[in-house]
Homo-oligomer: A and B are copies of this chain.
Amino acid sequence: MTEPFGTDIWGKFIPLAEWGPLVDEYLQDPAKGPIVNIAPPEVDDREYDAIFIGGGAAGRFGSAFLRARGGRQLVIDKWPFLGGSCPHEACVPHHVFSEAARMLDYARLMSNKYWCEDYENVKKRASILAIRDGFLRSRGAAHGIMNFQSKEQLNMEYVLNAEAKVVEAAGPDGLFGVEAAGRIFKAKNLVLAIGARPTAPDVPGTGLKGVVNFATMLDPEWLDFEPNRCVVIGGGKTAIEYGSFFQATGCSTTILTRSQLMRTKGLIHVDEDMRLWVENAMKRRGIDIHDNSEPVSIDGVDRVSGVTYRDMTTHEQFTVECDMVFLGTGETPLSDQFATLGLDLDAKGHILVDKTMQTSVPGVYACGDMIPGAREMFKARKSGVTAARNIMGEYTEYEHENYPDFLHSTYEVVWTGLSEEEARQQYSNVVTIKLPPDGVSREDSALPVGDGSMFFALEGMGEAGLLKSVIDGDSRKILGLQFVAFGVRNAFQYLDYLIHKWPGGFTADQMADVNELFLNEGYPQLHRLRVGGALRDL
């Protein structure tokens, strides 16, 4: 029962600084076997209340919560680290690339000015591979803190670097059985949280060398050349974010999207003013954007040479030459892996759950990207916590219809609540507050100018961002907020809470009562200037 299997780290303190290199060793040599942090029976001989299969945002947060509630959990992950795809290949590298893109915007803007070299005319290019490799070198730190924190601070039990397989679905003892690392673990409940994989469009050529997605572009053996001309397929977050990065490095980028940019199914409550600001800023930076365009084929012999697409209105076909294609066409949940459980799925393969995160099979819960809805960290984490609470006997519902959202172009683009268009469908007296205000051109406005926009304003305005507030002029409640700028994303976590959770709604007058810091990149002072009388568009 306690026979050794893999590297047993129970009770052994591994300093944070050692975790990063250790994880890298396991990534380079997966055959090193499992990393096992399990309490021996003399410490804890209880059955597991739940086994979390997948230790990403959903499984890790659910585990932490269940443990803190006094339960016993085990989390099993195929990777040698907790945290899932986020630190490994998704949110973290995406943020690194977006930060690089923003800095490269600066390098262009500041070319030959003040202390800056002539980037625009002399250097011109940044290496995508070098930035990618920089991320890979440092990734261990992001991995390491997950393992460290989960073990030393949150007291979780885990088996890493091991595939988990459900072998007994509610067996004769009423327990679920999961095989991992050559051993069977038993638990009262299962929480499925292994996420999703990127989807390729159904066109020829997706296997050609030079065709990448956010995961495969991190593989030095797969993306082993410096691209000069890229076509991005997709119009949602991933397409916008990676397309903006490629263009910023000097790799000329074309985006092909069936819909308009930001009008893909995964994005909701997208305000048209905001959308246009983002799209126009991308065009100003030289990105070639074709909407209403569906890919026909990815062309090339053994490596990609172009993409043929069709204008969905005229049905004309065009070909764009390129040496890299980036697929930003969504993800598919990895629910196949649990086919034997006979769970109810939706048409896209998401596992259907009730509001407690329980699937159609009692005792089996699913979370994160396996269930329907937007792919957001907080959904993953909250759904994991909701499963944990219900497993521990605390009935809890979770829905995530209303949530704040964001993406990076080279700006932070953030929104919560209703778009102006949505608000006008529901309210008869919708008022907006905007910077730049209506009637003032972007080029003439130095506002809103948050931290990080000052030099844009100094060296040529029109890049100071867009701030918008959508208000019901009768009740004076704030219905929606949109912001394109720098340094504003973090604030939207709390703005979202205020407008959705404040008892009775959060009004423009309350916003005007907020103590602002600095001047014009927040909402409080702008609302304060307006709330003295009846609200009107300004």
Report which A residues bind B (CB closer than 8 A): 15-17, 61, 64-70, 86, 91-92, 95-96, 98-100, 102-104, 106-107, 110, 113-117, 119, 123, 125-127, 130-131, 134-135, 137-138, 141-142, 144-145, 148-149, 153-154, 249, 376-378, 381-382, 385, 388, 400, 403-406, 412, 414, 437, 440-441, 443-447, 450-452, 454-455, 457-459, 461, 486-498, 501, 503, 510, 513-519, 521-522, 524-525, 528-533, 538
When the two chains form their complex, are residues A515 and B496 in contact, meaning their CB atoms are under 8 A apart?
Answer: yes
Between A and B, 28 residue pairs with Cβ closer than 8 Å are A61-B525, A61-B529, A64-B529, A65-B529, A95-B451, A96-B458, A99-B452, A99-B455, A102-B452, A103-B106, A114-B126, A114-B127, A115-B125, A137-B458, A142-B446, A148-B440, A154-B529, A376-B515, A377-B516, A378-B525, A381-B528, A388-B532, A451-B487, A452-B487, A493-B524, A497-B514, A497-B515, A498-B498
Contacts of A514 in B (CB 8 A): 493-494, 496-497
Determine which of B61, B443, B495 lies in contact with A494 in the assembled complex, contact meaning CB atoms within 8 Å: B495
When the two chains form their complex, are residues B106 and A115 in contact, meaning their CB atoms are under 8 A apart?
Answer: no
Q: Closest 3 A-B residue pairs measured CB to CB?
A: A68-B532, A115-B126, A494-B494
A68→B382 CA distance, assembly (Å): 44
**A15 nearest CB neighbor, chain B only:** B444
Number of identical protomers: 2
Known pairs A17-B443, A103-B106, A114-B134; list 11 more (Cβ under 8 Å). A117-B117, A134-B459, A153-B437, A376-B515, A406-B517, A406-B518, A487-B490, A490-B490, A491-B491, A493-B522, A494-B514
Contacts of A135 in B (CB 8 A): 458
Determine which of B134, B451, B538 lies in contact with A489 in the assembled complex, contact meaning CB atoms within 8 Å: B451
When the two chains form their complex, are residues B100 and A447 in contact, meaning their CB atoms are under 8 A apart?
Answer: no
When the two chains form their complex, are residues A123 and B134 in contact, meaning their CB atoms are under 8 A apart?
Answer: no
